[in-house]
Amino acid sequence: MVKEIYRWGPAVVCAAFIFAFSHQSNLTGQEWIAGYDYVMHFLEYAFFGLTLVWGTTSGLRSALTLKGAAAVCAVALLYALSDEWHQSLVPSREASWLDVAADAVGSIASVMIVFGAGQGKCRHAPR
């Protein structure tokens, strides 16, 4: 049980923070920075993708396979879609496909960085 909390706890905590931010009716301080919303979505889901990779690879003890990377990206996308739906139910908030796109790009970018870094470790020079 402790191993599972160690593996998946960060992803659960990150998902809870995303949910909490989406549940706020009035987010202040974002009006003065152009593109702030999309940058924050990108960064939130880049980090969320990393926490999902952490869980998938048992704390980076095993390699991230292409199938695992695809699964992580799919889970992040499904959560992004559910998060935008949730946000549409919050007063003075609305759902946006552009937010989902920023979420998807953020998670895919972080997962591909980890996947690419792992591929370099697996290759052996010919002898």
Answer yes or no: is pLDDT of 123 > 50.
no
In a domain, 91, yes or no: yes
Residue 88, domain member (yes or no): yes
pLDDT at 61: 87
Give me the pLDDT at residue 27, please. Answer: 61
Identify the pLDDT of residue 33: 60
> pLDDT tens for residues 11-68?
999 999 999 988 877 665 555 566 678 899 999 999 999 999 999 999 888 889 999 9
Average pLDDT over residues 87-92: 88
Q: Distance (Å, rounded) from C-alpha 105 to C-alpha 46?
A: 8
Residue 22 burial by Cβ neighbours in a 10 Å radius (0-12, 13-18, 19+):
buried
The rounded radius of gyration (Å) of the Cα atoms in the chain is: 16
Average pLDDT of every residue of the chain = 87
What pLDDT score does 68 carry?
A: 95
Number of domains in the chain: 1
Q: What is the mean pLDDT of the segment spanning 5-15?
A: 94
User: Domain for residue 14, yes or no?
Assistant: no
Q: Which domain holds residue 65?
A: 2-7+35-122
Among residues 47, 42, 39, the alpha carbon closest in space to that of 17 is found at 47
Cα–Cα dist 33/57, whole Å: 36
CB contact set of 83 (below 8 Å; sequence gap of 6+): 18, 19, 22, 103
- Select from 39, 53, 41 the least CA-distant residue to 10: 53
Distance (Å, whole) CA 52 – CA 9 = 10
Residue 39 lies in a domain: yes
pLDDT computed for residue 4 by the predictor: 81
Predicted model pTM: 0.85
> Is 40 part of any domain?
yes
The CA-based dihedral angle spanning residues 82, 84, 89, 93, taken in that order and rounded to the nearest 10 degrees: 160
